Amino acid sequence: MQKSFEVERIQCSLKIGKSYYSLNNIEKAAEYILLTAKEASVKLTETHDSIYLKYFIDCQYYFNQLLLQAYIVDETKSVYNAIKSDSILYNKCDLVNAYIINFIFFYWGLGDFESAKIIIDEHINYCDRYFPKSSELHAYYNMLKAVCLKHLDQINNSEASFRKSKELYEGQPNNISSAYYPTVLINLANIYADINLLTKYKNCNLNILQTKLNNSLINYYAIFELQMAIGYGYLKFNMFDSTLFYYNKAIEIRSANIHEVIYMYDILVLTSFAELYYKMGDYSKVHEALNRVLKIFDSQSLQMSIDRVTANLLNANTFLNDTKYSLAIKEFYSNQITCDSAYGRKKYYFENIFGGAKVQYFMQDYGVACDNFYQYFEYYKKKINDASFFLSEVELQGYIEKFESVNDYLVSLAEIVHEDSIVSGAYDAWLFKQGFVINTIRKIKSIKDTDPVIQSKYEELVQAQSELTMELSKPTKFQRKLDSVMNIKNLREKELAALSKNVEKELKQINHSDILKSLRNSEILLEFVTYKFKETPLIDQNRYGVFVLEPGTKKVNFISLCSASLLDSIAGQALDFLSVNALYDNPELVNLVWNKILPYLKDKKRIYITTSGMLNKVNISALRLNVNQTVSDLFEITYLNSSKDLLSMDRSQNTKTSFATATLYGDIDYSLSASASEGTYVTGTLRGLNYFDFFMTDPGARRSKWQKLKYSKAEIDNISLRLKHYGCEVKLLDRINANENYIKSHYGPLNKNYSPELFHFSTHAYFLPQKKSKSNTDGIYTTYRRMGDFSLIQSGIVLSGANKNWNVTDSSYYDDGILTAFEISQLNLQNTKLVVLSACDTGLGEISNSEGVYGLRRAFKIAGVDKILMSLWSVADYQTMEFMKIFYENLCTKKLSPRLALSATQKTMRQKKYEPYYWAGFVLIE
């Protein structure tokens, strides 16, 4: 009787609270629901009767909706202890699960993500014991754990949990029906900056929405949340009309069918509209929406939460974009203090540091701005270093690009303020990300033999790369397993990255002092950069600049050169014989690139150069300073893949070059037919695609055939004789023997053979630029196919039998005569000192601001090659043969180093009255 009375009293109290709630009398509703929660908590602790747990769970729901978790902290914890102490109660799985979900949200509402994570970890074990493997709960709790870790700024653990949740959802028979699967997708899309996952997120929500609408019993709460999620997806694509459409649809659902007060929904709607108006530039509406959000927090005395932090951050950024700097700096500073106090110095704290630095930059408080930018740089440097131990190559590249903006601000500061600390700080930030991904790949390759576990995992990666190579070698319509194979390859890279942490903690950090110490007094380093000069919060200008590192002054200087549009418009005209020759005699280009630099070159003999942007496609050392002299006539020029390589390269003059072993490819039979050995020659044959084909995409370019090169035989015969004369062991691969199987089988990634010290390829090569994407997404989002493996497929060397497969229509081949850059990157060429690419366009590729050129040069560097001689445009057959004859005479007979041999060869070609088209395109990358 006593129990019945107590249950009825609690039940009555809860009903009164619900009635007030339905009448939107929140104060009275909270009073009665709180009373119910306290009584239910006490009785549950005393009796362990599950009926009281049911009532407490009901109360939890309302307190979570009203964001009033702080009022039942003690009660919530005592209920949890009661559940854990009673095995019978603990075995009531559905009830316990409902309580735990609310318990997690309870901690989220308090901003206590650490405690939430502990509860989730315990309940993941609980689910493993009490729920079948087919239960969606396993995926759901891993998703909740990932969200906690994200707010704790543990991006590595968060990514792993999101990835595990994704795998578990995709293992469900009806994963498309789960409303939480898209949440996993959008979070991974944000980590990887992956437009494919972003698209999948949007489409998945659309499919789920359609399924829900087709149900006879409509869940309006789910429909509302889906409409908001779809709108958010369109917002990421900057499709504002579609975003507005779905947001308004969600509001209609809310108004017509969800009448109770749910502050989480109100805050979601208002902040979503604020983000939309922010992107549209309607700042008055942003402030209006955010003020309503803050009014909800203040009127209900709601505690601090992530929602409030992000609302304040958006408010501050809106003031910044609206050039209301005094209001912006006040908001950033206040939010920074709040974040530090509530959550520590994690993501949101540093986002406010970065925002404040931008305000100080535009207020011309440059010293303070630089200090804060550098604080943010140190933060993101740590995040990128951490990411290198859990992301794949393409994921890491996308992650790094998210931090590009701070580099632009630092370089802009270097342009404005010529203080040593500011310029050197900007250079260090630039240097940090240069070649970070390729150096991470090299690091993993270098440790693969240090541990049996790593070696085994590396062998698995090699297998995955091999399967991906086979899939990518097929015509597009036959690449049915591409996504699954790519996913396996990425997973193997991630596993190796994680294992590498046990061997080497992180890449050695190099700064300007290291570079300056490595330079001799007669040397200088020119680090060309492309950056966005920040004129206003919303207006920037793409520019070229150069960091000048001169050991005599022991400091870094920065020179702003010109707008990118001006230089690119001039350099981009070099497409054929006439335009290339005109470019290298163009005084305007010389003025843009060299005039401001020349005063720093007094008494210098050697210049180290790293290039950026369109300068990757121009041999700036071949530009004429006057009628009789090019830059390379006055200085010894060394092109570096990265200025970091300066610390490990052979710095000697090296006037005694010799090669013990060499492999030569040439006089290649591209058709594997009896008549092909004689060849059909075309006057003026180019060693690659002609420029009409050059700008075509893959299917168009493959309509043509590769012509046999008339002078290739003379070229490799001459080189072979010269090398043998000086004691070099030469392997000559010609006609049908010049196949890709030889190099892949002898120098594969697991092969222990020492690669030859010299490789020479006298053949065709190609680079097929991707179509420019018209995607209108946020700038941080890129397709994972834009860089990495897919860009390395766009470049390649043409070997025997290529004509059979270049325009293939079936999918039954592997060694197709086309040695792609992706395949080259998998080779083991650690012993190779020099690769000579006597072919067209071998220096071209997709350009990344942090990683340089994604093409053959990157592939050979990953494979371990020391130096690469390559071409920047389509080279002519006969003149290239003559060029190589002179080059090897300088290299072998005169024993010059490759860089001096190249310089001497170009000078001789000029003396023979050859136009720049025939000699200026060859550059040596060290």
Query: Residue 624: CB partners within 8 Å, gap ≥ 6?
Result: 584, 585, 590, 630
State how beta strands 834-838 and 867-871 pair.
Answer: parallel
Give residue 608's pLDDT: 96
Are the CB atoms for 408 and 361 separated by under 8 Å? no
Give residue 901's pLDDT: 95
Minimal CA–CA distance to 306: which of 477, 131, 116?
Answer: 116
pLDDT in tens, 595-650: 999 999 999 999 999 999 999 989 999 999 888 889 999 999 999 988 998 888 87
Give residue 853's pLDDT: 66
Q: Which segments of 585-646 does DSSP mark as H helices, in order?
A: 587-594, 631-634
Residue identified by tokens 């809106």 is 318
How many angstroms from the chain centroid is the CA of residue 401?
5
Q: Degrees (nearest 5) of the Cα angle 790, 795, 798?
A: 130
Give the H or E element holding residue 500.
helix 482-500
- Tell me the C-alpha distance between 654 and 661, whole Å: 18
From 184-193, 346-355, 774-783, 785-794, the region with the lowest mean pLDDT: 774-783
Cα dihedral 205/209/211/212 (nearest 10): 130
657 vs 920, higher pLDDT: 920
797 pairs with which residues across the strands?
Answer: 765, 819
pLDDT in tens, 539-554: 999 999 999 999 988 8
From 639-648, 659-668, 780-789, the region with the lowest mean pLDDT: 780-789
- Tell me the C-alpha distance between 188 and 158, whole Å: 9
pLDDT range class, residue 695, cuts 50, 70, 90: very low
Give residue 692's pLDDT: 30
pTM of the predicted structure, to 2 decimals: 0.89
- On the question of pLDDT at 451 being above 90, the answer is no
Q: Would you give the DSSP letter of residue 598?
A: G
- On the question of pLDDT at 93 being above 90, the answer is no
Minimal CA–CA distance to 174: which of 216, 139, 128, 126?
Answer: 139
Other CB atoms within 10 Å distance of the CB of residue 388? 23
Give residue 652's pLDDT: 65
Q: What are phi and psi of 456, to 5 degrees?
A: -65, -45
Rounded mean pLDDT of 23-34?
A: 88
* In the chain, % of residues over pLDDT 90: 55
pLDDT range class, residue 355, cuts 50, 70, 90: very high
pLDDT range class, residue 911, cuts 50, 70, 90: very high
Rounded mean pLDDT of 131-140?
A: 89
Give residue 786's pLDDT: 42
**Token pair belonging to 213:** 């609408």
- Tell me the C-alpha distance between 264 and 63, whole Å: 11
From 469-478, 516-525, 782-791, the region with the lowest mean pLDDT: 782-791
Give the H or E element holding residue 231.
helix 220-236
- 181-192 helix and 137-151 helix, angle to the nearest 10 degrees: 40
* In the chain, % of residues over pLDDT 70: 89
The top-scoring range by mean pLDDT among 119-133, 192-206, 410-424, 465-479 is 410-424
DSSP string of 655-699, one letter each residue:
-----SEEEEEEEE-SS-STGGGT----TT-BSB--HHHHTS-HH
Give residue 673's pLDDT: 58
642 vs 791, higher pLDDT: 642
Q: What is the mean pLDDT of the chain?
A: 87
Helix, strand, coil percentages (3-state) for the chain, rounded to 5, are 60, 10, 30
Q: What are phi and psi of 80, to 5 degrees?
A: -60, -45
Give the H or E element holding residue 584.
helix 577-584
pLDDT range class, residue 806, cuts 50, 70, 90: low
- Tell me the C-alpha distance between 541 and 262, whole Å: 45
- On the question of pLDDT at 702 being above 60, the answer is no
SS3 597: coil
Q: What are phi and psi of 517, to 5 degrees?
A: -65, -30
Give residue 777's pLDDT: 59
pLDDT range class, residue 594, cuts 50, 70, 90: very high
- Listed as own residue / partner, the contacts of 239-242 with beta carbons closer than 8 Å and 24 or more positions apart are 239/776, 240/276, 240/279, 240/280
Give residue 621's pLDDT: 93
Rounded mean pLDDT of 572-584?
A: 84
Give residue 108's pLDDT: 87
Question: How far, CA to CA in Å, does 117 sit from each of 76, 161, 184, 390, 907?
Answer: 16, 12, 17, 20, 67
pLDDT in tens, 871-900: 988 888 899 999 999 999 999 999 999 999
Strand order in 540-550's β-sheet? 555-563, 540-550, 523-534, 606-610, 636-639, 922-925, 867-871, 834-838, 758-762, 661-668, 729-735
Give residue 686's pLDDT: 52
SS3 556: strand
- Tell me the C-alpha distance between 798 and 897, whole Å: 28
